[in-house]
Amino acid sequence: MSGICSSTVTPERRRRIGPWLGIALLTMAGCSEPPLNCQINRNVVDNGTASSPIHDPSIEHFDGRYYVYSSSALGSFYQSADLRNWQASGAVFDAMPDWLLREIPEADHIGAPDISYYHGRYLLFYQSHISDTCNAATGLATNAVLDPKHPDYEWVDHGLILRSKPFYDDVPIYCGNDEATFNAIDAQFFVDEENTPWLVFGSTIGGITLIQLDPKTLKPADDAAYTTLAQRWLLQEDPIIEAPFITFRDGYYYLFMSFNHCCIYDDTSYQMRFGRSKEVTGPYIDQQGWPLYLGGGSLLIASDPPFVATGHGDIMQTDDRHWLVHHAKLPAKDHLAHLQIRALNWTEDQWPTVCQP
């Protein structure tokens, strides 16, 4: 296996090793790698401001200010003029959307919001699900502006985009639809270099999934295929994979994701990992040449002492740099989730890193 781990898996190599490798990988968790051993870029957020509770953050810029959206009961959001000082600014919804309660009567949160700008309006994809199941739904709301004081500020909810239901009543963690196995959570909207819109989403059973969207309805395009980009060995101690997002830079699509359970207090090892591909549909490969669809993923960040559980991220690009946005838990405050923002650097061979130059 070491030869496979240390070399790029080309399409030809993928075909050649495929017949036996899939079986072998069901008994292993992937290739080993050295731990992150560097001084990481500092978090620029002032924790004395409204930096918590912010969980699963997504960031966008509007009219000179930054807006971060967080998982919460109704989709809370925060704003800042400088990325350092933050203030709570309200919630996207006044009540749970009617369509969501019809689909999932037990729905009690607006989770993993993803904010982006597309064709003259801001898109907010969001999800809700029944805890410890993949009975989930992703919806979409749009707004012309992000400033709640602006006269044009109004969130318009467009309802259901993606739905996963358990295939069997007594197996609530095995879900999807008639076409694929997936979990309809943690969606990120992305437009590729050909201006094609995509939704990347999912978690452990079914893995990280990509589907092409109709550019008008922003629902899955007719006859669009569900493509698995990343997955993990389900029988390992902590097989969680979730919170994907894609960005493009210098000829590569980069897929970021979070590994391990986010919310088990002192036992958490939540962390961010990544791979890249020349094509948005993959295959994505980590720094060791290991495919993400076979459990790969290079470590980006695992902690920022005294913070732990650094994960569920987003990337924002300003004029001079990329910024990595994610949450982190503070054990001294009952593992409350805080916002963290730090510079994201790139190595000479075009891999992302939070290590200081």
Active site residue 250: no
Active site residue 192: no
- 210: nearest Cα among 231, 234, 193, 239: 231
CA distance 13 to 113: 38
Q: 124: which strand partners?
A: 115, 141
Q: Are strands 271-277 and 252-259 parallel, antiparallel or unpaired?
A: antiparallel
Q: How many residues does the chain have?
A: 357
CA distance 231 to 282: 13
Catalytic one of 242, 286, 304, 314? 242
CA distance 234 to 127: 23
CA distance 218 to 142: 11
Give burial (CB, 10 Å; 0-12/13-18/19+) of 109: middle
CA distance 87 to 18: 51
Which distant-in-sequence residues (6+ apart) come within 8 Å of 179 by Cβ?
A: 226
Catalytic one of 56, 114, 186, 314? 56
Q: Which helix (H) or strand (E) holds 241?
A: strand 241-249
CA distance 171 to 164: 13
CA distance 52 to 70: 10
Cβ(275)–Cβ(286) below 8 Å = yes
**Active-site residues: which are they?**
56, 242
